Amino acid sequence: MAQTLTEIKELLAERGMSPRKSLGQNFLIDQNLARRLVETSGVGPGDLVLEVGPGTGALTEVTLDAGCEVIACELDAGLAGLLRDRFEGESRFSLVEGDCLGRGKSLSEDVARALDGRPFTLVANLPYGAATTLMLTLLTKWPACKGQFVTIQKEVADRLLAGPATPKAYGGISVIAQALGTVERVATLAPECFWPRPEITSAMVSVRRRPDPLEPDPDRWPRLAELVAEIFAQRRKQLGSTLKRLNAGGLELPEGVLATHRPEALSVEQVVALCRGVDGMGAREGG
């Protein structure tokens, strides 16, 4: 069973602790939503789950009840101690204390060591500050991550789902998420679903790994992410200018793409095709 708000407050009070705004600690207190997140992920007995920002372990309990093995990563030393005590003797629970991210926007060595190359699923109420970087890292550098089922800022969810029809939200993260995964909004979460109440609305999203990613070679996913970021770095400039900056001014453009287009006008498929062309031109020049 997921923890109630009263239980969460009692767990913290016993240790003289309170939520830390600096770490983006907003605990999910809606038990139905916690169960819905785990159910949507489809994880079950024997599955490996990575949880980042477990807090007091409310979602962790639901995931363990589903029969999963859970690797939890908690940055807050006080909460890490609480989790060790709470799940002491639980063989399917292990804790990594520290930042989930290491150098170069990759998973920390400790988290990577705990995962040990095994297939896993991210199921988490993510700290807002880490959400975008972590999700992109798992999408582009960890093919073993089968899917991500998370609560995040609604604004980030909107960006993950956006297309050319919503140019203000559409950008690099939209392209990468949709090129390599299938993104769905599971629910919109009011501030009342959390304690303390955040000042923004949140969303629950799923990002399932595509069986047919637009870039089929996982070794090229990090490079794709780099090029997509370069193309959207000056999103209001025409592509002709951007391609010159990337030393690809003579590139033959994909079908339907004009040098006068701006990045935000291109479909996900067109952006990926453009990146493939830019990368290929660079490889030819390098050779």
- The average pLDDT across 82-87 equals 96
Cross-strand partners of 65: none
pLDDT at 25: 87
Q: Following CA atoms 168, 33, 52, 27 in sequence, which dihedral angle do they give, to the nearest 10 degrees?
A: 90
Rounded Cα–Cα distance for residues 114 and 215 (Å): 28
Domain spanning 218-286: which superfamily?
Answer: rRNA adenine dimethylase, C-terminal domain (1.10.8.100)
Domain ranges of the chain: 5-209, 218-286
Q: Of 59, 29, 81, 253, whose CA–CA distance to 149 is shortest?
A: 59
What whole-number percentage of the chain has pLDDT above 90?
Answer: 90
Residues 88-145: tens digit of each pLDDT = 999 999 999 999 999 878 999 999 999 999 999 999 999 988 999 999 999 999 999 9
203, containing H or E segment: strand 202-209
The total of other beta-carbon atoms located within 10 Å of residue 91's CB is 7
- The average pLDDT across 257-270 equals 96
pLDDT at 285: 53
pLDDT at 2: 67
Count Cα atoms within 13 angstroms, Cβ side, for 247. Answer: 8
Residues 6+ apart with CB under 8 A from 226: none
Reported as a pLDDT band with limits 50, 70 and 90, residue 177 is very high
- The average pLDDT across 30-57 equals 97
Average pLDDT, the chain: 94
Collapsed DSSP state (helix, strand, coil) of residue 193:
helix
Domain at 5-209: CATH code: 3.40.50.150
pLDDT at 282: 59
Residues 6+ apart with CB under 8 A from 136: 105, 173, 176, 225
Question: Does residue 227 register a pLDDT over 80?
Answer: yes
- The average pLDDT across 187-196 equals 96
| Helix ranges restricted to H, the chain | 5-14, 31-41, 58-65, 77-86, 109-115, 128-141, 154-161, 172-180, 221-232, 239-245, 268-286
pLDDT at 287: 39
Tokens at residue 16, please? 């003289």
Is the Cβ–Cβ distance between 205 and 186 less than 8 Å? Answer: yes
Residues 207-224: tens digit of each pLDDT = 999 999 999 999 999 999
Tokens at residue 31, please? 């038990």
- The average pLDDT across 150-167 equals 97
Give the predicted TM-score (pTM) of the model.
0.95
pLDDT at 1: 58
Reported as a pLDDT band with limits 50, 70 and 90, residue 249 is confident
